[in-house]
Structure 1
Amino acid sequence: MDPNQKADEQEVLEQLDPLASVPTFQGALGRLIGVIDTLFTVLAVTALVAIAGTVLLQISARLFLPFSVSWTEELSRYLFIYMVAMSSGVVLRQHRNVSVELFQHTLGLRFRAALHSLICLLIAGFALIVLPYAWQYAMNGAWQTSPTLKIPMLYIFFSTVVMFALLLFYGAIGFLEGFVAIFRSPERPDSEFP
């Protein structure tokens, strides 16, 4: 991507979302987080494409076959659940959650970083509190099977564990990025940081 285009994109993003101006980690740590982001984005997009394929199969079967395929609706529902769970962390990291922005654009970079840290800390704290209960919920599905696919519901209920674990992970990263940005000297280039 052209550096000018990337700078223009970043400027527009900062105008739309003031918290996007909080610098992220660079270097090896930033690349590792980027790889993890890409992995979960690819998994979520794969689930979305699979949902589309499943629904098209269901529609085609109803139109062209003398019988309906009963498992497609159930599979599309489970794929949707996992798509949401796997994309939750990346959505948090990219500031794509639904939010109300009343005053963030009036804050300086350090106050934006502090607000970003606080938001991520609250999300990570909530995920930390809920994660053990999500695990208990997932274990309830160990002795149940899905109605048409006959797969253990443990795998479906485990999506809650995945979602809250990702929110905890990405919330912690966002908190650390904001915390570092609060104390970062504005004249130092980003390449000097991890």
Structure 2
Amino acid sequence: MSDRPTETPTERQDNLEILTRVPRLGGPLGRLAEVLDRVLLVLAVVALVGLSLTVLLQVASRLFLPITISWTEELTRHLFIYMVALGAGVVLHRHRNVNVELFHGRLGFRGRAFYLIVLSAITFGFTSMVLPHAWQFAQIGAFQTSPTLRIPMIYVYYSSVLLFATLLFYAAICLLEGIIALVRGERAAAHAP
């Protein structure tokens, strides 16, 4: 028997991702980010459930009905697009992106904070450049409708605006978290509420 305490699945996951050890932002902005996390995750799950039900309806109609329902493929595509757009910012904020950890484990606390700053600054810069173009792209959809559902395509194209806006917001939050962690250091972060 070992004297080592047993890790919970959440702790095990957090230990795999080194950037989760950088403390979260507190105060009103931190609470806003957490509330937005929950809202976006609920909406992403709703989109996933809707996507799953639509695919099941499509399969059932092909197997058991004499006709196939044509709108299911289009709705599935739109729900998938929104599921990704709703979840991408939360994934960024929780540091759950797919990445290759070559050197993360060797970084100290300030090194992890600096690494988070660099990644967040790059993401912030990229999304701030792309967001105005995403808005222009969404405006194209104002004059188009989808082929089978006949919904205005601006609602579908707006998903790109949502994606880049949430990424911009969460990149700013992560940038602040990294800067605060770098300035305060590990001891101050350990004693923070």
State the TM-score, normalized to the length of structure 2: 0.91
Map 1:146-157 to 2 at 5 A.
146-157=146-157
Of 41-50 and 64-73, deviating more is: 64-73
Structure 2: gaps of 5 or more residues: none
Runs (4+) off by over 4 Å? 7-11
In structure 2, the CA distance between the partners of 1:159 and 1:71, relative to structure 1 (3 Å rule), is same
Matched, 1:126 2:126: yes
Would the aligned equivalents of 1:114 and 1:178 in 2 still touch at CA under 8 Å?
Answer: yes
Corresponding letter in the other structure for 1:128: S
State the TM-score, normalized to the length of structure 1: 0.90
For residues 62-95 of structure 1, the C-alpha deviation after alignment (integer angstroms, 9 at most, x for no partner) is 2222211100000000000000000010010111
Count of matched residue pairs: 187
Q: CA RMSD in A?
A: 1.7
Q: Which residue pairs with 2:116 in the alignment?
A: 116
Q: Which residue pairs with 1:190 in the alignment?
A: 192
Q: Which residue pairs with 1:62 in the alignment?
A: 62
Map 1:20-39 to 2 at 5 A.
20-39=20-39
Structure 1: gaps of 5 or more residues: none
Matched, 1:104 2:104: yes
Of 9-18 and 121-130, deviating more is: 9-18
Give the Å deviation of 1:8.
4.9
* Separation of aligned partners in 1, 2:10 and 2:66: 53
SS in structure 1 at match of 2:186: coil
Q: Which residue pairs with 1:161 in the alignment?
A: 161
For residues 116-160 of structure 1, the C-alpha deviation after alignment (integer angstroms, 9 at most, x for no partner) is 011011101100000011011111111111110011111111110
Q: Which residue pairs with 1:46 in the alignment?
A: 46
In structure 2, the CA distance between the partners of 1:99 and 1:185, relative to structure 1 (3 Å rule), is closer
Corresponding letter in the other structure for 2:192: D
Corresponding letter in the other structure for 2:175: F
SS in structure 2 at match of 1:98: coil
* Separation of aligned partners in 1, 2:11 and 2:75: 41
SS in structure 1 at match of 2:187: coil
Would the aligned equivalents of 1:145 and 1:152 in 2 still touch at CA under 8 Å?
Answer: yes
In structure 2, the CA distance between the partners of 1:55 and 1:8, relative to structure 1 (3 Å rule), is closer
In structure 2, the CA distance between the partners of 1:29 and 1:135, relative to structure 1 (3 Å rule), is closer
